Amino acid sequence: MNLYALIMAGGVGTRFWPRSKEKTPKQLLKIFNSKTMIQNTVDRLDGLVKNENIFVITNRIQKDEIMKQLKNVPEKNILVEPFGKNTAACIGLASIFIENLDPNAVTFVLPADHIIKEKEEFHNTLKKAAEFAFKTKGLVTIGVLPTRPETGYGYIQIDERQVEDAIYNVYTFAEKPNYATAVRFLESGDFFWNSGMFIWRVDSILSEIKQYLPELHQGLFKLKESFSSENFNDLLANIYSKLRNISIDYGIMEKSKKVFLTKGNFTWSDVGSWEEVYQLSSKDEHGNSSTGQVFTDMTMDSYIYSPEKFTAMIGVDNLIVINTKDSLLICRRDRSQDVKKIVEHLKVNKLNEYL
């Protein structure tokens, strides 16, 4: 059983504006330590997956910076989509490259921008899932036991009878719920946060794509036949332009009869907003987390990032303040999911210098 990793790194991170821009999205930023989030993601695989078996899929704008940051990942393993078509196309494209190298590969599919602690437990979870996926040809996802009624995550409901040690059948996938539904999920005990991490044999996922997304499979088959062709990139762009924009969850996981869940017994966050960053950051005695030259007085429970300018806050609570060289964000912590609206406004009004 040969282990491979596919790191999905094409996102823009709109909810992390103004730090996250098109060329330097969330996964390429240093948010919690001296390394970027994608560097931490690769480091987390050390001792489990060889560097030459790590693949990253991204876009043209981010490729050069990813190559600079991931010097131990071979350049040929940095795959580039002509444009984003969501995770089904992204995973399908990378899977045919991996299958071409190793038809029996077991692949860990991982987002580039998650926080995971307890590395040893993370490795144990992946290894157990890989052994199960290799043996059964099942599609395994990692579920994280909820610690709060979170409305920013999707959920997965399981059959509590184990198929195997720590492996469960999946009943259903649930979209991001409202607060009352999230409370109900939390109290039920059989709903888990959908981590967006998957483990499967490369031939298994391609077989399920063939069954449930036949148009995508047909396009991938044409690409496989043209790997050595001089016009491969032109063909890729042409095929991508006709693909449905659909996630692997909608396209495959919610339909397949071969979906299983294993519990991730480690600290996890998809760091989906500035509120998540605040929650994960160390804080002073007033509940504030700050970076840079910051003065606070009668200010509590706020996150302030201002490395290039002096920022002062007096008599305010529960705020997110991100002060960069060219932009300033101020929002209530409970509205941090709405930061993406700013990016939409900038696009509509062609204010590209702030993107």
Model confidence pLDDT, tens digit, residues 23-46:
889 999 999 989 999 999 999 999
Pairing of strands 167-174, 155-164: antiparallel
In this prediction, residues 104-118 reach a mean pLDDT of 95
Q: Please, which contacts does 73-77 make with residues 24 or more away whose CB atoms are closer than 8 Å?
A: 73/42, 77/52
* Residue 160, pLDDT above cutoff 90: no
At residue 331 the predicted structure's pLDDT band, cuts being 50, 70 and 90, is very high
Q: What is the pTM (predicted TM-score) of this model?
A: 0.93
List Cβ neighbours of 226 (8 Å cut-off, separation of 6 or more).
Answer: 232, 235
Average confidence (pLDDT) over 165-169: 92
Average pLDDT, stretch 173-182?
Answer: 92
Domain residue extents for the chain: 3-269, 274-354
Beta bridge partners of 269: 115
Fold of 3-269: Spore Coat Polysaccharide Biosynthesis Protein SpsA; Chain A (3.90.550)
Q: Residue range 116-145: average pLDDT?
A: 96
Residue 195 contacts residue 143 (beta carbons within 8 Å): yes
Instruction: Tell me what pLDDT residue 229 has.
Output: 86
What's the pLDDT band for 161 if we cut at 50, 70, 90?
Answer: confident
Please report which confidence band the pLDDT of residue 272 belongs to, taking 50, 70 and 90 as the band edges.
confident
Asked whether 157 and 170 are in contact (CB, 8 A), the reply is yes
pLDDT of residue 12: 80
5-26 tens-digit pLDDT? 999 998 887 899 999 988 889 9
Quick check: 262 pLDDT over 90? yes
pLDDT (average), residues 118-142 = 97
Torsion of CA 135, 95, 58, 66, to 10 degrees: 60
Q: Average pLDDT over the chain, rounded to whole?
A: 94
Give the pair of three-digit tokens for residue 40: 């931490």
* pLDDT exceeds cutoff 90 at 247: yes
Nearest 5°: the CA angle 305, 306, 310 is 140
Task: Tell me the three-class secondary structure of the chain, residue by residue.
Answer: CCEEEEEECCCCCHHHCCCCCCCCCHHHCCCCCCCCHHHHHHHCCCCCCCHHHEEEEEEHHHHHHHHHHCCCCCHHHEEEECCCCHHHHHHHHHHHHHHHHCCCCEEEEEECCCEECCHHHHHHHHHHHHHHHHHHCCEEEEEECCCCCCCCCCEEEEEEEEEECCEEEEEEEECCCCHHHHHHHHHHCCEEEEEEEEEEEHHHHHHHHHHHCHHHHHHHHHHHCCCCCCCHHHHHHHHHHCCCCCCHHHHHHCCCCCEEEEECCCCEECCCCHHHHHHHCCCCCCCCEEEEEEEEECCECCEEEEEEEEEEEECCECEEEEECCCCEEEEEHHHHHHHHHHHHHHHHCCCHHHC
Mean pLDDT of 267-281: 92
Q: What percent of the chain has pLDDT over 90?
A: 87
Would you place residue 151 in the very low, low, confident or very high pLDDT band (cuts 50, 70, 90)?
A: confident
